Structure 1
């Protein structure tokens, strides 16, 4: 495995004990200028400007993060290859950027770090006429609740060595980019738009000069975007476009409309368009995905979301003019969760062979009438590229990463060589070296990795150190203080206790009610997927758990006590079964009006803070006898309170981070109270370092230096030396990806990310010596930072640890 390289334009100094020469550390390091214009009114989310440095970055520029795992892949939403180099492939992760392999998937190297403005990848297009020209649309079309917004299109003319940003920054998700097969400067893009709000940038765009300028050539409304494009294999002036009404709310997802969704066609390269209806569902149509085969150029396959029994795989044999339902998917194998899947790929050498990607990969050899699964290494499958000269060679993208086959899917390259894990949180145990724990989305299990190589040798390398300590992909997994072999773990709202000595888990669900497919208003306990688990700092046997209430156990979950009233806003109009108007999506992650964070005070066992995903912040100061709503008065309603941090230096000082981008509001919301919630100060006004459109997920104060704050945002890491009065980038050599959680532990900074795994910055004590005004102890000249005691450990060969 190749670990992420430093961002171009920076360098890494391994010894952070002394001041080093100045290093330019930008908040948004880009390798290209824009120079692109968009025809049509601007809307959506702009690119953040670099934050002005208030402390000279040379004082901490020698610090460096380490990637510590896991290297098992996360969700891949786009794959690509080219017939001229059959051993080279590309994959795009939902939060990890673009990766390239030149050895059939045995190793992958990131090629987007330092260039891309969003780590979420919607589509990769290698131009047929020139394999060095690659277009990448950012923003995945699988708009589940942890979706990351796209930031336009990037282009490479040297096979991914360098990139330029070529516009459509406000187009939101860009799930399809198509370069003309003979002219790579003529390029088309499908823009879904901002997935959270109506906006005018949706539709189909065309550029005739390689992305320097764009014109919108198909637009139906501000709520309907384009999700897929395909050329006719024999006539590129004929283009099929899929239009989709799609919007993500915190409490639901909308997929489908009656009048504007569906299949559109042009025969003049996009000058004029008409909606095709013959043989297609009348009324509601949701997500549509196409595929064509040069073997039968007039044949078009389309997966069409629609009300049953007219949902399924459609086929046209007259270039899209008329359609027939070939497979109505009676067992719900092809159309499960269509907003998230719905991917069809025709074999370029045989138009009767077609693949459908869903929970599994399905193959038909009779034009889509019957299907069988093919072997693969993971599940929840999203994209497939087939070599047009040898269809046995394919690259495949799933929730587990990107893999390559040379034998038609009988065997595949590994997924355990891609550091693209999507992690919801980070918890640490008290071993030496300590381990990091989280729920890893899309990989079925929680995951734990060591911060340093353990003393026990593992000749299998870093893969051999992974553990799955109970629960499932959502997490959290919280080790018990004093006995780290015991882990309190969650699986989609269900509590368990995992014993790492025995490998057994005991599960104790609060209420024992199936929460899926039910209106949350009718549930006695509204748990959601990533429910909080908080262990008391004063008693490792005292564990708190959160639905709309705070629950408490003293016996490992065997018995539970409810100790609070409903601590959410509970707007009744938001309580519904998620998904519509066609397909329900009953996964529990859209349960609204539920707790997202519980924080027990390290100073006083009677003080507990909570935050809900619909806005309120509550506190009890008397051991749960009474609870007070202390929500900041100027915070807009219905934000997701994602983190609460109680200062180790002052029991009445508390920091709260919330975000509202799922409502279309990308402003950062970080607040501080100095009087236990009586009054609040907004620490992020959009002008003091964290840009006005960068949502903050988490804020932590350093336990050893009052007023030293770390903020994890949707687009990287920030730091404040003056208790939030000003902020600046602290990205260093971190890749651009959402920072979901932060732990400051044993004077290390440990991070979880939504697309690039765990990272650790060893020894933050040099930061403790930097004052709020940017000064250090010495006046003038060089300054020697003290550092902390160091430990000699036994490194192993091929350990995978830096």
Structure 2
């Protein structure tokens, strides 16, 4: 074992090094890169990064901003310019690795599982590969979401993460690979004290141990879930389902081994040359555990080797209800119980580890007695990782795949890709929070679709004009300086007074513009979000009128208002339109220049934003007028719950 070199295209090889630092976890990330400008210079990447300038006789470490180094690009024209990829992101050097660019200027987090809490604004939680677990607010008073707004609820990198439904300061996360505690590392984090307590189901050190010799088996991403009926009851999934009623201090197995328990798949991994048992190679375990919100004690569990089980008596007995169409050894990563029907359950599965890249989605309407595929017209070659059912529209489903998010309006008969700026990226988990769809990606951090209300109200073949009912709007006051650092175009390094974050304003066609958030998160729209559908282009101006509960007009917006900026003009083209009302009354009228006789400049003549006061909490209406017809719907403005 060692490093070898050939000078005749592989006909003969010479061992040049036996340095064991070069073969750290060889199956995972050991790579060799020859310097394109110097024949005797070679780089090796693994946990660290190593460099030799004497054909491998000696190596020195090249310090990188993050460990677990997977890839390296060397500029053929300038070998000192390199790009290095690690579990923290991508780093650039212009001086041969003496210094590197930061990993904190890119949204490249690799999330496994996510959760949300009930704060306002709600926070999104996740475990992230080779880093801490993280909690990110869905909005910030500064207009952007910075790293300083984030907190770190434990050091969990690998597994599920769940927030206590009664106390969002208490968070549990799987932490195999990044925590003491051995197999099934599980942490309880208290944000008030910043303390982490290890609460493993079974604290056993298993590094180097074959899974067949373990007391209990826990996968890299073993499931965690709270009971929807008792927030003091927590479930964890290994090869058994376990329950704790004392915050993880003690655990009880409430199921038999629910996997196939095939000994042939529980030996040491990696073979003789790349032997490794570090915690990520455990098979025949639960991949998803969830308790029915409709019936207490009804618990569903799926496994990473193709099985689905259910108990309806709190674990006293279990039934194998695996779909007959389920392919052998499928990874059944998600069980989703319908919010509407107690006996309707969905499962998402994949066999990509067996070179089968087809989608697998199933539904039962009789509690698991019979199943049917709901792949429908889902694109071939899509790995289906997660499926969520909308709590409002019973036929609306969302699926996360290896390339993005798909939705169905007819319970799985037909599927469409959701674009809207979401990059092509593996989506490992989805959560629905109120009217938001939250996606945890493996490589591009968090993404939130701010309002799925149109999908809840529009027909699949909407042929008439439709004004969608705005969801309840929280009256949120941003900081006075929020957004003042945004320039119309170009780079801005401070979006608000005293806040550092990099954004870029981009001019688009016509009067449109956009803003790119380079090292920070984007705030959701601040105001009432109004959607409307036009089946064809409007022939006359489109108008939106906002009124109070007494039907008194507050403000109007028209597509033919030549003096209004683009974002205050309702769209007129066929398709779905979004308009955001900032909840403000009209501002003061600017003074006629001929009336200004004082030496100072009156405020009402200022060129800045002179928006009027914000409306009070209460009931409001919005009217859509287009081509001689009108529609009116009501909505509510809610007081900020933090006040």
- Same fold (TM > 0.5): yes
Superposed displacement of residue 413, structure 1: 0.9
For residues 425 and 76 of structure 2, what CA distance do their matches in structure 1 show? 34
Greater relative contact order (CA < 8 Å, ≥ 6 in sequence)? 1
Establish whether residue 717 from structure 1 lines up as the match of residue 414 from structure 2. Answer: no
Do residues 755 (structure 1) and 438 (structure 2) align? no
3-state secondary structure, aligned to 1:521:
helix
In the TM superposition, 1:9-408 aligns within 5 A as 311-316=1-6, 321-329=11-19, 332-387=20-75, 391-408=79-96
**2:570 corresponds to:** none
Question: 2:269: which partner in 1?
Answer: 578
2:321 to 616, 630, 648: 630
The answer for the alignment partner of 2:161 in structure 1 is: 477
Gaps of 5+ in 1: 1-310
Please, which of 414, 426, 436 is the counterpart of residue 114 of structure 2? 426
Aligned equivalent of 2:331: 640
Distance 2:240 2:124 in 1: 28
Change (3 A) 1:498 1:322: same
Q: Which residue of 2 aligns with 1:790?
A: 473
The Cα shift of 1:649 comes to 0.9
Q: CA deviation at 1:608?
A: 0.7
Q: Distance in 1 between matches of 2:118 and 2:107?
A: 25
Look up the match of 1:735.
423
Q: Note closer, same or farther for the CA distance 1:669–1:395 as it changes in structure 2 (3 Å cut).
A: closer
| Counterpart residue number, 2:372 | 681
1:458–1:465 CA contact under 8 A, matched in 2: no
Distance 1:321 1:617, change over 3 A: closer
CA distance in 2 between partners of 1:590 and 1:334 (Å): 22
1:630 Cα offset (Å) = 0.7
8 Å CA contact retained: 1:446, 1:475: no
What's the offset of the Cα at 1:349? 4.3
Contact 2:340/2:391 (CA < 8 Å) preserved in 1? yes
1:487 partnered with 2:171: yes
Which residue is equivalent to 2:135?
Answer: 448
State the match for 1:618 in structure 2.
309
- Inter-partner Cα distance in structure 2 for 1:733 and 1:482: 34
**What is the distance in 1 between the residues matched to 2:51 and 2:358?**
45
Number of matched pairs = 478
1:471–1:477: 8 Å Cα contact kept in structure 2? no
Q: TM-score, normalised by structure 1?
A: 0.57
Check conservation: 2:31, 2:71, Cα contact below 8 A: yes
Give a deviation string over 1:98-127, Cα, whole Å, max 9, x none.
xxxxxxxxxxxxxxxxxxxxxxxxxxxxxx
> 1:347 & 1:768 partners in 2: Cα distance?
56
Aligned counterpart in structure 1 of residue 294 of structure 2, from 603, 621, 627: 603
- In the alignment, the residues of structure 2 paired with residue 319 and residue 549 of structure 1 have an alpha-carbon distance, to the nearest angstrom, of 52
Q: Distance in 2 between matches of 1:444 and 1:755?
A: 13
Contact 1:335/1:341 (CA < 8 Å) preserved in 2? Answer: no
Deviation at 1:390, TM superposition (A): 5.1
Quick check: 1:660 aligned with 2:351? yes
Aligned twin of 1:554: 245
Structure 2: segments with no counterpart, 5+ residues: 177-183, 484-494, 496-500, 502-519, 524-643
Quick one: distance in 1 between partners of 2:436 and 2:191? Answer: 25
Q: What SS does the corresponding residue of 1:339 show, helix, strand or coil?
A: helix
What's the CA shift string for 1:82-107, capped at 9, x where partnerless?
A: xxxxxxxxxxxxxxxxxxxxxxxxxx
C-alpha change, 1:781 and 1:552, in structure 2 (3 Å) is: closer
Describe the superposition over 1:164-214 as per-residue Cα deviations: whole angstroms up to 9, x where unpaired: xxxxxxxxxxxxxxxxxxxxxxxxxxxxxxxxxxxxxxxxxxxxxxxxxxx
CA distances 1:135-189 after superposition (whole Å, capped 9, x unpaired): xxxxxxxxxxxxxxxxxxxxxxxxxxxxxxxxxxxxxxxxxxxxxxxxxxxxxxx
Please give the alpha-carbon distance, in whole angstroms, between the structure 2 residues aligned to 1:727 and 1:386. Answer: 42
CA RMSD of superposed structures (Å): 2.1
Tell me, yes or no, if structure 1 residue 515 matches structure 2 residue 171: no
Aligned to 1:697: 385
Match of residue 127 from structure 2: 439
Provide closer, same or farther for how the CA distance between residues 601 and 356 of structure 1 changes in structure 2, counting only shifts above 3 A.
same
Give 1:540 shift.
1.7
Contact kept, 8 Å, 2:27 with 2:270, in 1: the verdict is no
Q: SS state of the match for residue 333, structure 1? A: helix
* Separation (CA, whole Å) in 2 of partners of 1:350 and 1:611: 53
SS in 2 for 1:314: strand
Aligned-partner Cα distance in 1 for 2:294–2:284: 29
Which is higher, the Rg of structure 1 or of structure 2?
2
**Counterpart for residue 767 of structure 1:** 455
1:592 CA drift (Å): 1.3
Instruction: State how far apart, in whole Å, the 2-side matches of 1:609 and 1:383 are.
Output: 40
